[in-house]
Amino acid sequence: MGAHKLLFSELKLWTSGRGGWIARLHKGGCGKASLSSCSPKVCIVGSGPAGFYTAQHLIKARQDVEVDIYERLPVPFGLVRFGVAPDHPEVKNVINTFTQTAKHSRCSFYGNVNVGKNVSITELQQAYHAVVLSYGAEGNRSMGVPGEDLAGVYSAKDFVGWYNGLPSCRELSPDLSCETAVILGQGNVALDVARILLSPIDILKKTDITQPTLEALAESQVRRVLIVGRRGPIQIACTIKELREMVNLPDTRPDMVAADFDGVKEALKDLPRPRKRLTELMLKTALEVPGEKEQERRSKASRTWGFRFFRSPVEVLAEPGHSRIAGIRLAINKLEGSGDGAQAVLTGEVEDVPCGLVVSSIGYKSLPIDPSVPFDSRKAIVPNTMGRVKQAAGLYCSGWLKTGPTGVIATTMNNSFDTARSILEDMDSGTLDMSAAKPGSQSISALLEKRGVKPVTFSDWEKIDNVEMKRGESRGKPREKLLTVEEMLHVAWT
């Protein structure tokens, strides 16, 4: 049976298309000894960690796979460039790994291509054996409370996009002329926002934070940041590294409510190690009487930060007769149950907190890209099993689009490797039809050209990269990011 299949597909290849398999062989397409399949062509939509790690795994696993990565912006790397905080440059080292993948002979990068608008998923599926959706989560969950649209209320997604130079967030211009900022949510993104708001300018000016942000922060009047969560200290979503950074942030002191920590010390012994260490640090910061040196440091601090627990937003309050924010009304909760599964339940009491800036950091959210792709709007993910999109042969997903918008780069890495493994399994088992050759980027490039869309290649990106690094040099920054798509394209194509 196997031998017959081999013979038949050889015949098919011999007679198929211009050049046939010899041309493909010369092009380096068929690295494998078997001639029964042509070079598998995979298309990945999105060039963040999910896209790159999926590509990396595929290219390593088979010598004949060719991968094309499409990206809407002219620049690659997704949240590594636009999400990771400017003062976390080591986290961005992963760009070196991604660069190596992009420059591999069997990988190509096509920036400035909007999948869903410039080219459809159906067209990609016709050109490639497999299409992987890795375009992440560009939306955000809304609080769903009155006053959410008042001036002075921002989503963390937009705030982070603003300080990281995401072109669509360039005009955010948040008003930092108030004393108190309230952040809803207590995950790592919330802590990033707090840290950027309170960090000494001398530290920030040596990072790749954008120049307009630096100027705005230099004028900022914000002196107090409250980081608010629905539940208690044991349910906090941030991790210890970020908490430690707040505790050690120069010129700041912690301001917590001791009563929020009732019963927490007793619960410590049953907690798993990561949760235990995090909770111990919180308890120490909130309750322990500081030594002399620390006491002096705190008394000299000009800025404060603190967690507020058991609070949910119910309304953003406006200044009477104005459309600017004056404060936020928070419902007071109590906890039912314990541990990860504990639920916040309203008590009926509320509390008003005066503030001039509200940042809602309650989660990113994926959006549907193309009507032909199944989308679960309740969970805001593409429905899938092990990365295989349900009811859509040849379609896969990886990263936040697959599992929801939580996790760090390492999580996304494992998630993407899993999807790549599903694809490889399907190639081996025949679930993915590899019998016919696919044109890949040849046909897509022709389509794009017809539509007046010019892709940005990886070498074009390297020109942008060099310009940014050069600009940064004169300012003592690792780079000075280009802030508009127009500027990026201009540099790319000059």
Partner 1 sequence: MAASAAVRSSMGLTLRLSRVIPDCSTCPLFRLKCNAKNVANLQRRGSFDSLRTINRHLQTSIGLYHSEEGSSNAEHPEDVVNVVYIDRSGQRIPVKAKVGDNVLYLAHKHGIDLEGACEASLACSTCHVYVSAAHFDKLQEPEEREDDMLDMAPMLQENSRLGCQIILTPELDGIELTLPKVTRNFYVDGHVPKPH
230 among the known binding-site residues?
yes
Q: Which is nearer to partner 1, 119 or 362 (CB)?
A: 362
- Reported as type and span, the H/E element at residue 457 is none
Give the shortest CB-258-to-partner 1 separation in angstroms: 25
Phi, psi values for residue 361, rounded to 5°: -120, 60
Q: Which is nearer to partner 1, 386 or 436 (CB)?
A: 386
Question: How is residue 185 written in tokens?
Answer: 């949510």
Q: Which residues bind partner 1 (CB under 8 A)?
A: 56, 59-60, 88, 90-91, 93-94, 96-97, 100-101, 103-105, 239-241, 244, 273-274, 277-278, 379, 381, 385-387, 402-404, 407-411, 413-415, 417-418, 421, 459, 462, 466
N-to-C CA span, the chain: 56
Q: Which is nearer to partner 1, 247 or 332 (CB)?
A: 247
Give the shortest CB-81-to-partner 1 separation in angstroms: 15
Helix intervals (H) in 263-374 = 264-267, 273-287, 292-300
Per-residue burial over 362-396, b = 16 or more CB atoms within 10 Å of its CB, e = otherwise:
bbbbbeebbeebebeeeebbbebeebbbeebebbb
Give the shortest CB-173-to-partner 1 separation in angstroms: 31
Please provide the size of the chain in residues: 494
Q: Which is nearer to partner 1, 72 or 81 (CB)?
A: 81
144 among the known binding-site residues?
no
Helix intervals (H) in 171-239 = 188-198, 201-204, 211-218
Question: How many CA atoms lie less than 13 Å away from 115 in the CB half-sphere?
Answer: 28
188 among the known binding-site residues?
yes
391 among the known binding-site residues?
no
Give the shortest CB-137-to-partner 1 separation in angstroms: 12
Give the shortest CB-241-to-partner 1 separation in angstroms: 5
409 among the known binding-site residues?
yes
Q: Which is nearer to partner 1, 15 or 105 (CB)?
A: 105
408 among the known binding-site residues?
yes
Quick one: angle between helices 273-287 and 240-247, nearest 10? 20
Contact assessment for residue 228 and residue 186, using Cβ atoms and an 8 Å cutoff:
yes
Question: How is residue 166 written in tokens?
Answer: 């995401």
Give the shortest CB-207-to-partner 1 separation in angstroms: 14
187 among the known binding-site residues?
yes
- CA 210 to chain CA mean position, Å: 18
Q: Which is nearer to partner 1, 116 or 407 (CB)?
A: 407
SS3 120: coil
Give the shortest CB-266-to-partner 1 separation in angstroms: 22
228 among the known binding-site residues?
no
SS3 199: coil
115 among the known binding-site residues?
yes
Cα 185 to Cα 359: distance, rounded to the nearest angstrom: 9
Q: Which is nearer to partner 1, 58 or 444 (CB)?
A: 58
Binding residues for FAD: 50, 71, 79, 115, 400, 407-409
Binding residues: 50, 71, 79, 115, 186-189, 230-231, 242, 400, 407-409
Binding residues for NADP(+): 186-189, 230-231, 242, 407
